[in-house]
Amino acid sequence: MDWFKKAFGPLYPDVYGHRDENDARRAVDFLERHCDPRGERVLDLCCGAGRHGLEWLRRGRDNIVGFDLSETLLSEARRSCEEEELCFPLVRGDMRCLPFADGAFALVVNLFTSFGYFASDSENELVFAEVGRVLRPESGRLVLDHIHPPWLRGHLEPETRRTTSGGLDVRETRHIDETRRRVVKRVEVLGGAATGDVPHEWTESVRFYAPDEIEEIGRRHGFGIESAHGDFDGSPLSNDSPRAIYRLVVARASRP
């Protein structure tokens, strides 16, 4: 089974609990400062449990749609919407084939390493092709928040063990496959969490990209890089940056 169909299940929100609402607020601050879509439609591509879209709506903004493959995480997002009485349309599907009309969005955001999941470069590029299709010609924007390879190489911890805020005992082992340009992480939830059919171990495998590769893929799909940042504080991308956050703009009127 594809790893991304197994990994984003019921234990994921607690295992990645540090990626919380505070973290989402910083990302939404960045979006407000740098990519205001002025009331036009926004797509949160790979929205997970909806933390960014919910924050967007809490600020009185609207017109955002969430899209994700994980029914578990989408259900959690729906529950939060009901509790807070927010209207956040949520759609389930695969990012390689988006069920939206051509030119439907002014802004697509893909946050917290939600790209590079597929085994081949051509499948990963399909996501760029689809995003290019659903964005408005000429002015549509994509914000891609991804791994920054120098930071990854400098900070990779081969093995960690920790207890999550929800009490899960988690062991994570990591390595970089430089040939395939992927970071591979084995996650094992030890102890009592392994109940029923809930996956309690999985292996994540994410393709990482140098900035010039993103530029080249973007160019092939009609995008230009407008700016590249190293953090949601808006600082420019440098070798020391913890993240690579690209603002890409559709640079041509007709698609390839």
Contacting residues toward ligand SAM, per CB under 6 A: 4, 8, 19, 46-48, 51, 68-70, 73, 94-95, 111-114, 117
- The nearest distance, CB 105 to ligand SAM, in angstroms, is 16
Q: Which residue is nearest to ligand SAM (CB)?
A: 48
Nearer to ligand SAM (CB atom), residue 65 or residue 251: 65
Strand intervals (E) in 148-222: 159-163, 169-177, 182-190, 201-207
CA atoms within 13 A on the CB side of 4: 18
- The nearest distance, CB 201 to ligand SAM, in angstroms, is 17
Could you tell me the two tokens for 248? 């890409």
- The nearest distance, CB 58 to ligand SAM, in angstroms, is 15
Nearer to ligand SAM (CB atom), residue 10 or residue 48: 48
In a 3-state reduction of DSSP, which class is residue 56?
helix
- The nearest distance, CB 4 to ligand SAM, in angstroms, is 4
DSSP secondary structure code for residue 178 in this structure: T
Phi and psi based region of residue 141 (left: phi greater than 0; alpha: psi -120 to 50; beta: remaining): beta
Nearer to ligand SAM (CB atom), residue 69 or residue 86: 69
Give me the helix-helix angle, 211-220 and 121-134, nearest 10°: 60
Nearer to ligand SAM (CB atom), residue 37 or residue 50: 50
- The nearest distance, CB 27 to ligand SAM, in angstroms, is 8
Nearer to ligand SAM (CB atom), residue 27 or residue 214: 27
CA–CA dist 187, 118 (Å, integer): 18
Q: Which helix (H) or strand (E) holds 227?
A: strand 223-229
